[in-house]
Amino acid sequence: MAEAEPSVAYVWAWLPGRAEPLPMARLDGAGPVTTFTYGRGYLDRSDAIPVYAPELPLQPGPQSPELGPIASCIEDSGPDAWGMRVIEHRRGQNSTGEVGLLTYLLESSSDRIGGLDFQTSPNDYRPRGLTTATLEDLAEAARRVDDGLPLAPELDAALLHGTSAGGARPKALLSTDQGPAIAKFSSSGDVFPFVRAECLTMTLAATAGLEVAPVQLEHALGKDVLVVGRFDRPAPGERRLMVSARTILRLGPLGVGASYADLADEIRRRFVEPERTLRELFSRVSFNVLVGNTDDHAKNHAAFWDGSELTLTPAYDVCPQPRTGGVATQAMAIGPDGDRLSQVAGCVRHAATYQLSESDARDIIDAQIAVIRDNWTTACDAARVTEQERLALWESQFLNSFALEDY
């Protein structure tokens, strides 16, 4: 017998500087859309802030989503493809259509990305999925879900901890000596060395001066695991509210029409230190082009929200993608004309969009090319990239001739 779908969930939030969550709002999902209503007690607080003002302003009464079945800033805190897959596996479901939005929010881990959580009660906060486990246990649990195999209860509880991390690939949340982290595993169907390639790319990005999440390559069950440091946990107990670029750009659930040019406009309007942030954004765009990361969609960019302004988060999920042939396009348009071609010449052409001169843009790109060339061997060694993989990646994903054409 199918489990009944919940029609109500309560939003709890960590306000800036607070180490404990408090009840913020109610979600009602009985109809085709899920409405959001701030609690009366929350609205009466002197330190109340909106979960994200442009989408859900601080006001009484139910608010319906502008696009899609639920507010985008709420969906940002829910599980993506991998987390949904784990929840469906636990429930014995085979189709995402059989599981409702509120179920995904209420059955995913409370240790989710950002500063929100979802509960069945507005008064009693009970965190879910905080079981600690070894990296080996997490790797085994991810492998079994990936292969469609049942989980022992202890592995099931451990893997629940990773259901609120975004993305489509196997992953789990864990604690390390350096702090909270995300463990990213290889998949049984991989025909490309995603884990080592992402480690390589993130290492080169940091060397090139980009603000990126720290990464470290580990081993579990004879396979590589990428451990990515979390940047949404500033201090023990504290969490930082976050929204995706998809939410900032007010796009639909699929993020169709995402543009770096539009994001640059939002940076000028809503972000702290807009000039510095625009330079950082341009640097990330050109670096993505140079390393073949074409999976730079609007959910792979995010910003911290403090109640009034946005701050770009460190870069994450910067990974070269499998590629055949020369021509490639970025997931987001580089300029206001819709240009998505993966070419640094196009980045230079659109330098003004990021408040840069063409000379400044070339300086950034030249420095990145030099870093990739000069640090290639060292970074490959650190990421344990094999000789065969280096040959396959060099001038295919990294510094592809199409990327450098007309530059």
Assess whether 273 and 394 both reside in one domain. yes
- Of 229, 259, 289, the domain-final residue: 229
The answer to whether position 352 is within a domain reads yes
CB 333 within 8 A of CB 258: yes
Inter-residue contact 6 to 102 (CB < 8 Å): yes
pLDDT value, residue 139 = 72
- Give a yes or no: residue 3 inside a domain: no
Do the Cβ atoms of 364 and 282 come closer than 8 Å?
A: yes
Q: Quote the domain boundaries for residue 40.
A: 8-119
Residue 395 token pair: 């001038």
Tens of pLDDT, residue by residue over 295-315, are 999 999 999 999 999 999 999
Per-residue confidence (pLDDT) for residue 96, from 0 to 100: 47
pLDDT in tens, 142-151: 676 667 666 5
pLDDT value for 250: 95
- 85 and 194 share one domain: no
Please say whether the beta carbons of 56 and 75 come within 8 A. no
Query: For residue 128, is it within any domain?
Result: no
Confidence of residue 2 (pLDDT cuts 50, 70, 90): low
Would you call 53 exposed, middle or buried from its count of C-beta atoms within 10 A (0-12, 13-18, 19+)? Answer: middle
pTM given for the model: 0.91
> What is residue 255's predicted lDDT score, i.e. its pLDDT?
75
Report CA torsion sign: 186, 190, 196, 198.
negative
The strand pair at 22-28 and 8-13 is best described as antiparallel
pLDDT at 84: 77
Q: Let me know whether 100 and 144 are in one domain.
A: no
Locus of tokens 């975004």: 166
What digits encode the pLDDT tens for the residues 252-297? 877 788 999 999 999 999 999 999 999 999 999 999 999 999 999 9
Q: Are 292 and 400 in contact (CB under 8 A)?
A: yes
Cα–Cα distance list, 59 to 56, 123, 227 (Å):
8, 21, 40
Average of per-residue pLDDT across 217-229:
85
One domain for residues 268 and 390? yes
Which position has the higher pLDDT, 80 or 82? 80
Three-state secondary structure call for residue 319: coil
- What are 101-118's pLDDT values in tens digits? 899 899 888 888 999 999
- Domain tally, the chain: 3
pLDDT average, residue stretch 346-366: 98
Say if residue 145 is in the same domain as residue 207.
yes
Clarify whether residues 141 and 16 are in a common domain.
no
